[in-house]
């Protein structure tokens, strides 16, 4: 490593450290958006230094061809793909359009809604809290002596709610199912039941759920629950004394130099800088607005409440920065991890009911994956048993819904297994601050 590069690294590390602790010190009086502005003046997000040309590599032509075919088959407007090998980011490239109306192409720095991949982010935060001694996974959630013992949460009709633990929420075993719909996607019913104005918020939805009997006793079954992960977000806020987003950024993301991940917003005109535009399926039915039941809108802009989904499905990210988080919870990546070996292992050991913590699934070959899907978005992040990991995100809905993630993973497996010569570079450490440097490895 030359002297100039070494000096750049030292400066970067010092600035990251100083501003991380500045963020923490200011957390009680400043918003996380202001923190991001302070940081981004000095340190740019990893994805901001990337461009498509850096991944024009002959060995990845089959991968590009397969992604392009998928996009044509399902009328996907834009996509972004990142691939890491043994902890090194070796490929990061955009496909199609971030905005079809303006013709803006997707670059690897564009951010996408990642839907339920957000649950992996929340699970990491909860495991970190356990390591910090702030909670235990077997702590009770509801009741006078539990974590959420504030007045709004004490009006429950089913005493079994007092048996719900943090672990039950993590593994979708808290007692709720979706027999009568998903709590997080029925704001108008919640508003009518509680006699409150739209839009509703997470505490309102929790109150609504607690006013009804559980569908099964906690720990005796499993049913996928967005509500459970939304409650985990409230737990993080209660214990940390910070907003959920703020705690995750300061305790998980910023220490990893992941500076651009954040909770998304609901409307098209609220998109963040470098966030893509989202597209529904052709002729998709409209839905009542989360702000006004009398107004019909597209589900991907105002029909679903991304901000309230938050801990269950509200994050936006570039695939490159998402892979950096994944590398930090993968003992085989060769990268420093954000969690202990015990916590990482706990997340991938199946519970008695067969659920992982944060992840969607794993198999005997060492593959581990997390998927997400709702109107305007399909996302998948995967750790492969041979040292590979990848993230793929689309900005368009398809009729395949969540099942599209299996097809994406199949295409990625096939394309990457045929690569014999892997690049030596590491795009995770592309320097955005020092234009003279192109790429370097830690």
Higher pLDDT, 431 or 280: 280
The predicted pLDDT at position 39 comes to: 36
% the chain with pLDDT above 70: 86
pLDDT above 80 (res 159) = yes
Residues in the chain: 442
pLDDT above 80 (res 107) = yes
In this prediction, residues 410-437 reach a mean pLDDT of 78
The predicted pLDDT at position 353 comes to: 63
The band of 440, judged by pLDDT with boundaries at 50, 70 and 90, is: very low
pLDDT above 90 (res 312) = yes
The predicted pLDDT at position 49 comes to: 80
H-helix or E-strand containing 373? Answer: strand 368-374
The band of 41, judged by pLDDT with boundaries at 50, 70 and 90, is: very low
The band of 351, judged by pLDDT with boundaries at 50, 70 and 90, is: low
Closest Cα to residue 388, out of 91, 173, 35? 91
Pairing of strands 104-105, 88-99: antiparallel
How does the average pLDDT of the chain come out, rounded? 87
What is the spatial order of strands in the sheet that 88-99 belongs to? 104-105, 88-99, 78-85, 388-394, 377-383, 368-374, 361-362
Condensed to tens digits (0 to 9), the pLDDT of residues 202-239 reads 999 999 999 999 999 999 999 999 999 999 999 999 99
pLDDT above 50 (res 35) = no
Higher pLDDT, 27 or 374: 374
The predicted pLDDT at position 330 comes to: 93
State the greatest distance between any 2 C-alpha atoms of the chain, in Å, as a whole number: 67
pLDDT above 70 (res 424) = yes
pLDDT above 80 (res 401) = no
In this prediction, residues 44-54 reach a mean pLDDT of 81
The band of 34, judged by pLDDT with boundaries at 50, 70 and 90, is: very low
Residue 288's contacts (CB-CB under 8 Å, 6 or more residues apart) are 188, 294, 295, 296, 297, 303
Closest Cα to residue 264, out of 227, 204, 304? 304
Residue 347's contacts (CB-CB under 8 Å, 6 or more residues apart) are 123, 127, 329, 356, 357, 358, 359
The predicted pLDDT at position 344 comes to: 96
What is the pTM for the complete model shown? 0.88
By CB atoms closer than 10 A (0-12, 13-18, 19+), residue 226 is buried
Judge whether 319 and 108 are in contact, CB under 8 Å.
yes
Q: How many CB atoms lie within 10 A of CB 388?
A: 20
How far is 265 from 309, CA to CA, in rounded Å?
Answer: 10
pLDDT above 80 (res 357) = yes
Residue 85's contacts (CB-CB under 8 Å, 6 or more residues apart) are 387, 388, 422, 423
pLDDT above 50 (res 390) = yes
Third-level CATH fold of 125-240: Beta-lactamase (3.40.710)
The strand pairing partners of 140, in sequence order, are 165
Domain chopping of the chain, boundaries: 1-43, 125-240
Higher pLDDT, 171 or 283: 171
The predicted pLDDT at position 19 comes to: 40
């Amino acid at each position: 490593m030359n002297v100039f590069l070494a000096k750049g690294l030292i400066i970067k590390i010092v600035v990251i450290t100083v501003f991380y602790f500045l963020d923490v010190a200011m957390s009680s009086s400043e918003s996380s958006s202001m923190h991001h502005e302070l940081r981004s003046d000095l340190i740019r997000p990893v994805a901001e230094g990337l461009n498509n040309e850096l991944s024009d590599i002959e060995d990845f032509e089959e991968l590009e061809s397969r992604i392009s075919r998928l996009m044509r088959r399902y009328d996907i407007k834009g996509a972004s793909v990142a691939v890491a090998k043994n902890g090194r980011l070796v490929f990061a490239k955009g496909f199609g359009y971030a905005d079809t109306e303006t013709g803006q192409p997707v670059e690897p720095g564009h951010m996408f809604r990642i839907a339920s991949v957000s649950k992996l982010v929340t699970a990491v935060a909860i495991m970190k809290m356990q390591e910090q001694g702030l909670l235990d996974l077997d702590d009770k959630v509801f009741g006078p002596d539990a974590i959420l013992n504030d007045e709004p949460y004490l009006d429950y009709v089913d005493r079994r709610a007092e048996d719900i633990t943090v672990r039950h929420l993590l593994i979708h075993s808290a007692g709720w199912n979706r027999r009568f719909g998903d709590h997080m996607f029925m704001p108008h019913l919640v508003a009518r039941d509680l006699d409150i104005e739209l839009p509703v918020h997470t505490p309102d939805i929790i109150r609504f759920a607690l006013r009804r009997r559980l569908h099964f006793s906690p720990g005796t079954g499993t049913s996928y629950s967005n509500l459970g992960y939304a409650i985990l977000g409230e737990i993080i806020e209660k214990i940390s004394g910070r907003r959920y987003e703020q705690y995750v950024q300061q305790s998980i993301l910023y220490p990893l130099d992941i500076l651009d991940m954040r909770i998304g917003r609901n409307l098209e005109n609220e998109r963040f800088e470098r966030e893509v535009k989202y597209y529904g399926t052709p002729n998709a039915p409209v839905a009542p607005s989360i702000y006004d039941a009398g107004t019909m809108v597209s589900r991907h802009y105002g029909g679903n409440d991304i901000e309230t989904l938050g801990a269950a499905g509200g994050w936006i990210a570039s695939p490159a920065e998402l892979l950096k988080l994944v590398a930090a919870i993968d003992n085989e990546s060769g990268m420093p991890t954000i969690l202990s070996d015990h916590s990482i292992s706990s997340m991938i050991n199946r519970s008695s009911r067969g659920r992982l913590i944060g992840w969607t699934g794993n198999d005997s070959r060492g593959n581990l994956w997390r998927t997400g899907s709702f109107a305007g978005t399909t996302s998948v992040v995967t750790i492969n048993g041979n040292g590979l990991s990848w993230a793929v995100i689309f900005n368009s809905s398809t009729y395949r819904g969540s099942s599209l993630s299996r097809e994406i993973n199949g295409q990625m497996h096939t394309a990457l297994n045929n690569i014999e010569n892997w690049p030596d570079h590491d795009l995770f450490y592309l320097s955005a601050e020092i234009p003279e440097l192109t790429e370097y490895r830690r």
